[in-house]
Amino acid sequence: MKNNWRDGNDLTLLINGEEFYPRVFESLRSAQTEILLETFIIKDDQIGQTLQRELIAAAQRGVKVDITIDGYGSGDLSEGFTAALMAAGVRLHIFNPQPKRWGVHLNVFRRLHRKLIVIDQKLAFIGGINFCFDHISNSGPDAKQDYAVAVQGPVVADIHQTCMLLLVTAAGYNEKNNPIQHTTTTESPAAGSVRAIAAGSVRAIVVQRDNAQHRRDIERQYLLAARTAQKRLVIANAYFFPGYRLLRELRRAARRKVEVILILQGQSDVPLACALSRLLYNYLLRADITIYEYCKRQFHGKVAVMDEHWATIGSSNLDPLSLSLNLEANLVIEDEAFNQQLYQNLITLAEHSCEKLTLKNTLRGLWWRAPLIFLSFHFLRKFPTILGWLPGHAHHLQLATRAEPNP
C-alpha cells in the first residue's frame, strides 16, 4: 500500500492520557458500524478495564469490533480479560503470540508497536499512547509524557486501509504457511473506504514501517525534514539511537545555522536505551545541536516539528527496534497552526521540565566511552540484519484470532 498526501483534514492534538482517553472512550460509545483498534499495550488496570467495557458494549449493540494487540506488549493480559471480550463478539487478534519460556516473553523483536484506532471510517486516532494508567500524568513514578492526534477527513481512509491490510495479510499468511483456527472475515483493504470528504484544511500523509515494502519510509521522512529545514528542527523522542545517515543530516542542518533541538529522556523505563543515547551527545553537541533531557517524568513521545509548517506524530522511536524491526505508523502533517501548537508545547517542556546538556559534561570519561560508542553504534546498525537470520524472527507476520465474528 502506498499512501499519498491528503488535503482537507482536521486534526486535534491530544497530550497525555488526560486528553486522549476521554476522547477515545466517547468516540467508542458513539460508534455505529465498525471499530478497528491496534495497540502495543493493554493493561488490566482502570484504563484497560474501561476500554474493555466500551468495546464489549459496542459489540453487543452490533458494532463490528476488531482489535489487534502485540503478543509481547500485551502478553500478560489474563484469560478472563480476553475471554470477556470474545464472549461479547469482539474479534481479538494477537500479533506474534508466543507462550512464556522460563517465565519471560521472548518475542521481544518485530513487535506490533503501532497505535491506531478507526471508528466508523470517519474518525481516527494515531500516536504513541497505549491503554494503561501510566499514561496519566499523575499516575505515579511510572507516569509518561506522550502525544496522539484525533483525525477527521480523507486521510482516515488511509489509516483504515493500513489496519485492514495487516488483518488481510496476516490471515493470508496463516492459511498458507501456518494453519490455525481463525475466523477473520475482513474485507479487502479497499472495501468500504471512507469517502474523501474534506473536514478541514490540514494536509497529511500516513507513513508506516513494516518488514516488506516500507522498511525505511518513516526514516526517510525524518531525513527529508533534516535536509530541507531552513529555520528550526525540534525532535522529541523517547528512544534515540538513529542510524548514521540521520545523525549526519542533523549535524549538517546545524552547520547551516538551522536551530536543531533534541528533547530526550532523562529518566527512562529502559536504562540501557538512555545510556546508548548519551553515547551520542558529544558527537551532536560539537555540531551546535541543543540537547535537553526531560526530567519531570518518563518521556514517551515520538514527535517532531520542522520550520513553521511540518510536523510528525506517531509510534516510531528513532532507534533500531522502531527503524528496523517493529511495525510502526506515523502521521506527517503540513499545517502551520498544528506546527505552532506542538512547537510551543515542546519548547515549554524544554524550558521548564528539562535539563540542558553541555559539552563540558559529556566530555567527562570520553577516553573510555569513545571505543564503547564505536562498538555500540556499529553493532546496533547490523543488529536487525543479524536478528533476521534467526528462524524465530523471520520476516513474516503471525496473527492469531481467538474469537468468532458477530453474526
Q: Digits of tens for pLDDT over the chain (407 positions)?
A: 667 999 999 999 999 999 999 999 999 999 999 999 999 999 999 999 999 999 999 999 999 999 999 988 898 899 999 999 999 999 999 887 665 554 555 555 578 999 999 999 999 999 999 999 999 999 988 899 999 999 999 999 999 999 999 988 766 545 544 433 333 333 444 444 445 688 899 999 999 998 788 989 999 999 999 999 999 999 999 999 998 899 999 999 999 999 999 999 987 777 667 777 888 888 899 999 999 999 999 999 999 999 999 999 999 999 988 888 899 999 999 999 999 999 999 999 999 999 999 887 665 555 555 566 556 655 655 565 555 555 444 444 445 455 444 44
Give Cα separations from 336 to 148, 340, 341 (angstroms): 18, 6, 9
Q: Are residues 161 and 69 in the same domain?
A: yes
Alpha helices in 61-149 (DSSP H): 79-87
Q: Are residues 192 and 215 in the same domain?
A: no
Q: How far apart are CA 72 and CA 78, in angstroms?
A: 13
Residue 191 forms part of a structural domain: yes
Residue 337 forms part of a structural domain: yes
Q: Rounded to two decimals, what is the model's pTM?
A: 0.88
What is the domain range of residue 112? Answer: 6-200+392-401
**Could you give the residue numbers annotated as active site?**
113, 115, 120, 300, 302, 307
Residue 324 forms part of a structural domain: yes
Q: Are residues 227 and 183 in the same domain?
A: no
SS3 339: helix
CATH number, domain containing residue 110:
3.30.870.10
Q: Are residues 297 and 176 in the same domain?
A: no
Q: Are residues 71 and 182 in the same domain?
A: yes
Q: Are residues 150 and 232 in the same domain?
A: no
Q: Are residues 138 and 242 in the same domain?
A: no
Q: Are residues 148 and 228 in the same domain?
A: no
Q: Are residues 157 and 299 in the same domain?
A: no
Q: Are residues 260 and 192 in the same domain?
A: no
Q: How far apart are CA 388 and CA 344, in angstroms?
A: 41
pLDDT at 369: 57
Contacts 24+ apart (CB under 8 A), 227-231: 227/252, 227/253, 228/306, 229/253, 229/258, 229/260, 229/306, 229/307, 230/258, 230/307, 231/258, 231/259, 231/307, 231/308
Q: Are residues 396 and 295 in the same domain?
A: no
Under 8 Å between Cβ of 20 and 148: yes
Give Cα separations from 293 to 101, 267, 302, 351, 365 (angstroms): 36, 8, 14, 11, 19
Question: Regarding beta strands 290-294 and 259-265, do their DSSP bridges make them parallel or antiparallel, or are they unpaired?
Answer: parallel
- How many domains would you assign to the chain? 2
Residue 406 forms part of a structural domain: no
Cβ atoms within 10 A of the Cβ of 22, count? 12
Question: Regarding beta strands 64-70 and 34-39, do their DSSP bridges make them parallel or antiparallel, or are they unpaired?
Answer: parallel
Q: How far apart are CA 45 and CA 288, in angstroms?
A: 44
